[in-house]
Copies of this chain bind each other. A is one copy, B any other.
Amino acid sequence: MHNWHVYLSGEIHTDWRETIISRTEELNLPVTFSAPVTDHEASDDCGAVILGDESSKFWYDHKGAKVNAIRTRTLIETADIVVVRFGDKYKQWNAAFDAGYASALGKSLIVIHDPSLTHPLKEVDAAALAVAQTSEQVVDILKYVISGKLVR
């Protein structure tokens, strides 16, 4: 049976990833999950901490963003499905960037967001194979897509 690789991109301030992962494990589905580094401070500082401090904010961010890209690009490229969640805070341009990147690679894209964000996310939704509102729906999709079982 195919082992599915699912990358969970986007919002890092709620526990939506844990919900998806734990419920999927309860269902014993053959899924390997991956995600960006979700420790916000580590993600911001990794470049400067590992490779040397920077006085300029631009280069401080730049170094960190590139180190993070080593992780995110590789894991998105190995994914079958990329799930991107947009929350109600922050600009989240990296989430939209990941959605575009995944889309150009032909990955199956699932987007999660509140209906209030439908208009600004319409281009992202248009590239998706599913637009969900909750983590539970994503689990239901994984269950159905992998096992063929639809719980009504």
Q: Is A29 an interface residue (CB 8 A)?
A: no
- CB pair B125–A42 under 8 Å, yes or no, is no
B106 touches A103 (CB 8 A): no
Give the complex CA separation of A105 and B124 in angstroms. Answer: 17
Residues of A within 8 A of B (CB): 1-2, 4-5, 32, 34, 37-39, 42, 45-47, 49-51, 55-59, 61-75, 77-78, 80-81, 86, 90-106, 108, 110, 115, 117-132, 137, 140-141, 144-146, 148-152
Q: Nearest Cβ in chain B — how far from A61, in angstroms? A: 4
Give complex CA distance A21, B41 in Å. Answer: 28
The CA-CA distance from A51 to B56 in the complex, in Å, is 15
Question: In the complex, are the beta carbons of B90 and A120 less than 8 A apart?
Answer: yes
Once the chains bind, are B50 and A137 in contact (CB under 8 Å)?
yes
- How far in angstroms is the closest Cβ of chain B from A74? 5
> Which of B86, B102, B141 meets A70, CB within 8 Å?
B141
Given contacts A96-B96, A97-B99, A97-B123, 19 further A-B contacts (CB under 8 A): A37-B148, A42-B148, A49-B150, A50-B140, A61-B119, A64-B122, A65-B122, A67-B130, A68-B126, A86-B93, A91-B121, A92-B120, A93-B120, A94-B122, A96-B97, A97-B103, A97-B124, A101-B101, A104-B104
